[in-house]
């Protein structure tokens, strides 16, 4: 989609579908105010003929357009990825392909969850915690503020938003509780599987 005319992508579920884990009030603020604000800012700042026809992904990967534009473009992409990383009735176990990769990389699914939650808790300030693929291995990384694995050539599979606007209305300052809830009840493993790349991902 051209950068100068990007649209707010709808989450792949209704705005109330993640209750009781994420309330309609929190989801509405996050989606209609925060995410929409980043989309509007990108469209305003990208009014440049040199950027015509560029996609959000191209803009981020090429690092063009200036810091403020890139920050907002990354936030648009990160939020789109975050919505897809969750689903109603999520959590549980991934398919055998991804489960084998998790067990190879972390020891067990429970160990992965512990490491993912800890990775988010230890991120100082705002940011994101990601599950990424590095060949046949999986890693947990955190990025600060508006940073994204896409800018570093990494392949993300899942992400959880660590900005306070993602959880404060429902969880106040209990980031750990929010992350544990995400890991136990919302992770969209089917989406994570769809992001795997290369023969090394096969069991």
Least Cα distance to 50 among 7, 84, 2, 95 occurs for 2
Mean pLDDT of the chain: 93
- Judge contact between 149 and 167, C-beta under 8 A: no
Q: Please give the Cα distance from 186 to 175 (Å, whole number).
A: 15
- Judge contact between 183 and 92, C-beta under 8 A: no
What digits encode the pLDDT tens for the residues 57-112?
988 998 876 799 999 999 999 999 999 999 999 999 999 999 999 999 999 999 99
Q: Please give the Cα distance from 187 to 90 (Å, whole number).
A: 5
Domains, in order of start, for the chain: 23-84 (1.10.287.990), 96-201 (3.55.40.20)
At 98 the three-state DSSP class reads helix
Token output for 134: 């590095």
What digits encode the pLDDT tens for the residues 97-149?
999 999 999 999 999 999 999 999 999 999 999 999 999 999 999 999 999 99
| Residue 199: band (very low, low, confident or very high) from pLDDT cuts 50, 70, 90 | low
Least confident span in 10-14, 41-45, 94-98? 41-45
């Amino acid at each position: 989609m051209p950068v100068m005319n990007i649209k707010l992508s709808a989450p792949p579920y209704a705005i109330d579908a993640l209750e009781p884990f994420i309330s309609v009030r929190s989801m509405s603020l996050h989606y209609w105010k925060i995410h929409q604000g980043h989309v509007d800012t990108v469209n305003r700042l990208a009014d440049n003929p040199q950027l015509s026809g560029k996609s959000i992904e191209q803009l981020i990967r090429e690092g063009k357009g200036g810091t403020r534009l890139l920050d907002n473009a990354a936030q648009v992409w990160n939020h789109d990825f975050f919505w897809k990383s969750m689903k109603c009735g999520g959590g549980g176990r991934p398919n055998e392909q991804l489960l084998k990769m998790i067990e190879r990389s972390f020891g067990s699914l429970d160990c992965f969850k512990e490491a993912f939650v800890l990775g988010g808790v230890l991120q100082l300030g705002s940011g994101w915690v990601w599950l990424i693929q590095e060949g046949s291995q999986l890693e947990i990384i955190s990025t600060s503020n508006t940073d994204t694995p896409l800018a570093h050539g990494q392949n993300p599979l899942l992400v959880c938003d660590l900005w306070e606007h993602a959880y404060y209305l429902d969880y106040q300052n209990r980031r750990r509780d929010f992350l544990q809830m995400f890991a136990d009840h919302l992770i969209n493993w089917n989406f994570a599987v769809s992001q795997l790349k290369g023969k090394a991902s096969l069991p």
